[in-house]
Amino acid sequence: MQWVCLAKRPLSLTELRFAMASDWPNPLCRPHRLHYELEKSKEFVESDERMETWVRTLSGGLVEVKHQKNKRMVQLIHQSVNDFLIQNGLHILSSNGSSVGQGHHRLSRCCINYTTLEDVRKMAQRGLIQQLPFLEYAVTSWVWHAERAESENISQNDLLVRLNWPSSHILQCWIDTYRVINHGSYERPNEQTTLLHIASRHGLLSAIKELLLKKDINLDIRDSDGRTRYRGRQKTGTKG
């Protein structure tokens, strides 16, 4: 219900299967390192048909599956259901009393988990996008979810651990993959983008504060467009 209600856009049954299987809370204890390991896990629903049955049964009819452009998309049956979930429903449904902000935080981490599977970047660069059904959403949306979690006062300072900072390897993998799958997007990160750039651009103040506590942080490092830290990218190309 969190995914259906809080997703940036409606997900297909296939995307939802991979999204749910990518949900593990501890970044230091990864149950899956490769894409095929994720598909072999007990959390993975093996077919869209079974996923559709689960969706209809577990939602009590509040979620429907619609055919759109040869895909089966998952969505709530009515806007009033979405409004109820946002206002109080997700809190009621969650075993730990999860709020909307905590829900966005969890979904952001699911996306990061998927994009940081060790073979995902190599598969994307080889053009094997069709074998990575959740990649486009995960790569382009984890920051979006993190931003909304931050706006609900859910700290994002664990991003340093999630992205193995100060190493830039995981972050660079994300940047490279984003530029492969959506190279024309206005939102794509620039080459040499740092975690400080991302946190500043998206208003992740808790992550910024955590970074500023580190002695070896370079506040003046620039990305490939010559920007240092910024809150938003200007269409005019203004740097700052």
| Greater model confidence, 180 or 198 | 198
Edge to edge, the sheet with strand 63-68 lists 11-12, 71-76, 63-68
For all residues of the chain together, what is the average pLDDT? 86
3-state secondary structure of 75: strand
pLDDT at 186: 79
| 26 part of a folded domain | yes
| 229 part of a folded domain | no
Share of the chain above pLDDT 90, in %: 52
pLDDT at 221: 59
pLDDT at 191: 85
| 102 part of a folded domain | yes
The pTM assigned to this predicted structure is: 0.85
Q: Which of 9, 84, 17, 4 is nearest to 50 (CA)?
A: 17
Predicted confidence (pLDDT) per residue in 88-124, tens digit: 777 776 655 558 888 999 999 999 999 999 898 889 8
Q: pLDDT-derived band of residue 230, with 50, 70 and 90 as boundaries?
A: very low
pLDDT at 81 over 50: yes
Share of the chain above pLDDT 70, in %: 87
Domain that holds residue 82: 2-212
| 136 part of a folded domain | yes
Task: Please tell me the total count of domains within the chain.
Answer: 1
| Greater model confidence, 157 or 222 | 157
In DSSP terms, 73 is beta-bridged to: 12, 66
pLDDT at 240: 40
pLDDT at 115: 92
| Section 146-162 average pLDDT | 94
| 225 part of a folded domain | no
Q: Which residues of 59-79 are buried (b: 16+ CB within 10 A; e: fewer)?
A: beebbbbeeeeeebbbbbeee
| 234 part of a folded domain | no
Query: Which residues, including other chains, have CB under 8 Å from residue 220's CB and lie 6 or more apart?
Result: 228
Q: pLDDT-derived band of residue 198, with 50, 70 and 90 as boundaries?
A: very high
pLDDT at 233 over 50: no
| Greater model confidence, 232 or 6 | 6
| 232 part of a folded domain | no
| 223 part of a folded domain | no
CB atoms within 10 A of CB 40: 12
| Section 182-209 average pLDDT | 89
238: its two tokens = 């203004």
